[in-house]
């Protein structure tokens, strides 16, 4: 798998568009296990090219109810960004907690080659990233995982660890029993979960008892301490996913002090991850350094490792180029005329130049608000 280039003899005319239904179709044809494996491979490959990327922490607009973020990144050939929100109260209004879309563009021309949904895709890329990290940091004989938080991300985490890491038993807990019931409905008698044992627990402490890996993926925007030092056992790997913005944590600070801590992009994680609880000089290792062999991961079998996962733009870069490649290979998706096609690229006015003899229609003034436009249509 090489990074695709976007040079063309003829400039593209339309932008590829992938809807949620298109992504679901890709998964249906490729298989969820195959899709997760492919996405994990692209993510791993791009981590190995870490120094090739122009990186920055995401741009965030915080409110009392959630956050809206823009996540840009580029290499020499391709630029991507993701728009994503995180609003835990959304489900009460029939909306997803996380909603996202992304763009993949050609650096040489700036042309947007792809616009894709990233709500479903982000769930898969987050799970695939967790698995990439666990394969590098967890004990190779890990077979039991505790899954704390059984919401929208939970099935993807469960199946990624089952197929990519070899987890055979998952111990489930959520303060909302309806979330656990939903997960059970989705995974029981599911061919994707064949050979995976699901155990429902009544507390976090019960769920982590005997677990080789602990994944926390909770949604509440609060400084929580879901995993505490008394729950730790030698050799445990913790995959902390839910602590992903300022004021939102899941792991007690003493757990971080007891563990060897790994992050995606340190400047971002210090602000957004569970790492925000620690002093600025608290030592961490970036995951790319482990995957590239520049730093060690787990040093011994009884060591506790912690992956403070907040989600980084490079993972979305990997996911976008993966679905872009699959869309071409499987002939999935459509196109949209997002950018004007001009006979003369220097003449933009041609799009609105009046045709001689044409009768002017009734228009809407530029200053008219959008809601007034809707009233006029109605």
| Residue 139 DSSP label | -
Q: Say whether 129 sits in a helix, a strand or coil.
A: helix
The secondary element (H helix, E strand) that includes residue 248 is none
Distance between CA atoms of residues 194 and 163, nearest Å: 10
244 is catalytic: yes
Sign of the dihedral through C-alpha 142, 144, 148, 151: positive
* Active-site entry in 46, 106, 212, 244: 244
Q: Say whether 327 sits in a helix, a strand or coil.
A: helix
Beta bridge partners of 169: 144, 197
The secondary element (H helix, E strand) that includes residue 291 is helix 287-291
Distance between CA atoms of residues 289 and 286, nearest Å: 6
Number of CB atoms found within 10 A of residue 146's CB: 29
Alpha-carbon distance values, 32 to 101, 193, 244, 319, 321 (Å):
20, 10, 25, 14, 17
Distance between CA atoms of residues 274 and 222, nearest Å: 11
Q: Which residues are catalytic?
A: 244
């Amino acid at each position: 798998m090489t990074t695709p280039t976007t040079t063309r003899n003829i400039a593209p005319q339309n932008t590829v568009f992938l809807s949620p239904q298109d992504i679901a179709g890709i998964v249906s044809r490729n298989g969820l296990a195959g899709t997760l494996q492919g996405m994990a491979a692209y993510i791993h490959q791009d981590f190995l090219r870490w120094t090739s990327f122009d990186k920055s922490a995401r741009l965030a607009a915080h409110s009392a109810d959630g956050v809206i973020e823009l996540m840009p990144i580029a290499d020499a050939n391709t630029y991507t960004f993701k728009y994503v929100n995180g609003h835990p109260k959304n489900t009460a209004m029939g909306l997803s907690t996380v909603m996202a879309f992304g763009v993949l563009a050609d650096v040489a021309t700036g042309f947007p080659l792809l616009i894709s949904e990233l709500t479903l895709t982000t769930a898969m890329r987050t799970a695939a990233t967790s698995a990439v990290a666990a394969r590098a940091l967890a004990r190779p004989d890990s077979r039991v995982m505790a899954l704390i938080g059984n919401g929208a991300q939970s099935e993807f985490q469960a199946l990624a660890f089952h197929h990519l890491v070899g987890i055979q038993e998952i111990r489930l807990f959520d303060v909302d029993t309806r979330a656990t019931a939903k997960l059970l409905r989705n995974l029981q008698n599911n061919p994707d979960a064949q050979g995976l044992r699901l155990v429902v627990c009544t507390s976090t402490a019960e769920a982590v008892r005997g677990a080789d890996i602990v994944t926390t993926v909770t949604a509440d925007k609060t400084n929580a301490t879901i995993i505490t030092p008394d729950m730790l056992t030698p050799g445990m790997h913790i995959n902390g996913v839910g602590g992903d913005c300022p004021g939102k944590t899941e792991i007690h600070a003493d757990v971080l002090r007891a563990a060897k801590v790994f992050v995606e992009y340190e400047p971002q994680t210090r602000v957004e991850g569970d790492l925000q609880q620690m002093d600025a000089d608290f030592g961490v290792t970036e995951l790319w350094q482990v995957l590239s062999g520049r730093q060690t991961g787990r040093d011994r079998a009884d060591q506790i490792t912690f992956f403070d996962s907040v989600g980084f733009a490079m993972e979305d870069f990997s996911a976008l180029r993966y679905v872009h490649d699959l869309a071409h290979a499987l002939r999935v998706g459509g196109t949209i005329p997002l950018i004007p096609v001009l006979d003369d690229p220097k003449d933009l006015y041609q799009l609105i130049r009046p045709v001689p003899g044409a009768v002017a229609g009734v228009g809407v003034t530029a200053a008219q608000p959008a809601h007034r436009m809707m009233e006029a249509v109605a």
